[in-house]
Structure 1
Amino acid sequence: MRQKGVSSGFIDLFSGHSALYAAARPTYPPQVFADIAALCRAREQAWDVGTGNGQAARDLAAQFDRVFASDPSASQIAAAAPADRVTFAVEPAERSSLADASCDLVLAAQAAHWFEPEAFGSEVRRVARPGGIVAAIGYGWWYVDPQVDAIVAGLLKAVEPHWQPGNWLLIDGYRALRLPGEEVRLPPAAIHLAWERLELEAYVRSWSVVQRLGEAVAEPTFAALRAIWPDGQKRHVVMPVVARVHRL
């Protein structure tokens, strides 16, 4: 289902490459959503805020009766595949059309670091039911093997001065992220992928910093990877999942 929403003056870092983002970004292990849902006192409605192309929303639909999935980017929402029990809307995180006390879960997947924290916190307190859960999850770092990691480290050093403040929140494991309520803990988790080199390159191209600076900034890294990573060869990529979870 799709719903017309409101626009906002947000800093749009992803609309220009929505299709690449949808194709290149990994999905989370289903157990992460099961662990979050297990903390909820009811499972009538979840809000996937900053849904992007709806990856997390589709997984939440296996755990909740209804999922409201919103993003301020109309382009990102247009790239989302329809899913049962999911309603998509173009709306900012800080101002939704949800009714008061209507959500058992508010989830931000790879998104909370882009929100205005005070306004988002107020909106969470408005839409969450008493005892409801607010969760921010993401993947800030990743590992392949010593050779690949050393090459990628050179790219990270090159773009480091250009990261947005929100990027640093995620890179720091969301430790400074402000959420309403009292913190609860999730079991540790990681995303495990079998990627070819071209899949890793597509992921790097989907970074907001690479899109802002131009893909040429990553070309020396890609050239070095081509020298050690043959076409068609799969390697194990590990992305630890970052999670902050609070109960209101």
Structure 2
Amino acid sequence: MTFACSSAMEDGVTTQDTGPMDPKDMIAAAARLGPSVDFGKASSDYGKFRAGFPEAFFSRLAEQIALRAGLKALDIGTGTGAVARSLARRGLDVIGVDPSREMMQEGAEIARREGVSVDFREGRAETLAFADQSFDIVTAGQCWHWFERERAAAEAFRVLKPGGHLVICHFDWLPLRGNVVEATEHLIVEANPAWMLAGGTGVYPHWPADMANAGFAGLETRSFDVAQPYSHEAWRGRIRASAGIKASLNAEATARFDETLVAMLRARFPEDPLAVPHRVWWIVGERP
């Protein structure tokens, strides 16, 4: 089994008080928060404001695993289908699975407007309702930490054809010292102390073990950084759509948070649009 990484984690990725979050702590925090999160409550903001993976990610992935029209793809934890829709635009036959009907309804409307075809189906990554060896590729974008990971990895292995690939990918904001992400994360924690996901680095060192233990081979990780533009309005919508705000809080608390974020942006980060640093990180494994 081989591992490769195209870029190292940046120095200085930190929060003001505690430094970068330990990945084990992030996984545990996500597990604790998960039962209280309902992304369906945030589906409209999620679909409208949350930037999807940059096209450069799909171009690099296509070179890495030979994405091509006609392949059968399954996108687990699809949400509003950002990954699924991008694969469909490349001609793949895509099914998206998610437990949130509201998120998938939002995704289906976006797909209709974009003129792409995705088959959205309600379901969970841990209990996939598909026959063995049904897919050429399984993707999981920005969601692996919400799953029962051992079961999800085993299910992905089961439904993949021999030679098929599992791709776990992330597109994370980076809280660098003094930047808008760090300041925003502090506001989220103040509004919702149960949200303990601040200080991420956009790198996930435990996912390779998940895949190796499920039987995947030829594991390879890659990453690159981008500055994602967000208007003030879009950044507010992006944050409302996060697990710590609209998906967890009631409407009154969400509105109070939004007012606080507006004031902070005006006072400390008046440039509009913002250039928000993000890291794209992914791991690919092959079913032998």
Instruction: Mark the CA change 1:169 to 1:76 in structure 2 (over 3 Å): closer, same or farther.
Output: farther
Instruction: Mark the CA change 1:46 to 1:150 in structure 2 (over 3 Å): closer, same or farther.
Output: closer
Instruction: Mark the CA change 1:42 to 1:173 in structure 2 (over 3 Å): closer, same or farther.
Output: closer
Which segment drifts farther, 112-121 or 208-217?
208-217
Q: In the alignment, is the contact (CA less than 8 A) between 1:27 and 1:55 conserved in 2?
A: yes
Instruction: Mark the CA change 1:155 to 1:143 in structure 2 (over 3 Å): closer, same or farther.
Output: same
Distance 1:27 1:170 in 2: 18
Instruction: Mark the CA change 1:200 to 1:169 in structure 2 (over 3 Å): closer, same or farther.
Output: closer
Which segment drifts farther, 169-178 or 202-211?
169-178
Instruction: Mark the CA change 1:170 to 1:236 in structure 2 (over 3 Å): closer, same or farther.
Output: closer
CA-based RMSD: 2.9
Q: Which amino acid aligns with 1:174?
A: Y
Instruction: Mark the CA change 1:171 to 1:217 in structure 2 (over 3 Å): closer, same or farther.
Output: farther
1:128 aligned to which of 160, 183, 188? 160
Offset of 1:142 from its aligned partner? 2.8
- Superposed, 1:45-64 pairs within 5 Å as 45-64=72-91
- The reply to whether residue 220 of structure 1 matches residue 260 of structure 2 is yes
CA offsets per residue over residues 111-151 of structure 1, 9 Å max, x none? Answer: 11111112212211110111221111112333689453553
**SS at structure 1 position matched to 2:235:** helix
Report the counterpart of residue 105 of structure 1 in structure 2.
Answer: 137
1:92 aligned to which of 121, 124, 138? 124
CA offsets per residue over residues 69-98 of structure 1, 9 Å max, x none? Answer: 111111111101235342111111112232
Question: TM-score under structure 1 normalisation?
Answer: 0.81
Report the counterpart of residue 176 of structure 1 in structure 2.
Answer: 206
2:57 aligned to which of 29, 32, 39? 32
1:195 aligned to which of 221, 227, 230? 230
Which segment drifts farther, 152-161 or 180-189?
152-161
Q: Which amino acid aligns with 1:162?
A: A
Question: TM-score under structure 2 normalisation?
Answer: 0.71
Query: Once the two structures are aligned, what percentage of the paired residues are identical?
Result: 26
**SS at structure 2 position matched to 1:236:** strand
Distance 2:169 2:259 in 1: 30
Instruction: Mark the CA change 1:148 to 1:41 in structure 2 (over 3 Å): closer, same or farther.
Output: closer
Q: Which amino acid aligns with 1:84?
A: V
Which segment drifts farther, 149-158 or 108-117?
149-158
Distance 2:132 2:153 in 1: 14
Distance 1:229 1:39 in 2: 38
Distance 1:159 1:118 in 2: 32
Instruction: Mark the CA change 1:145 to 1:119 in structure 2 (over 3 Å): closer, same or farther.
Output: closer
Q: Higher RCO, 1 or 2 (CA under 8 Å, sep at least 6)?
A: 2
CA offsets per residue over residues 27-73 of structure 1, 9 Å max, x none? Answer: 11122123223343675111111111111111111335311111111
Distance 1:72 1:27 in 2: 20
Stretches of structure 2 that go unaligned for 5 or more consecutive residues are 1-33
Stretches of structure 1 that go unaligned for 5 or more consecutive residues are 1-9
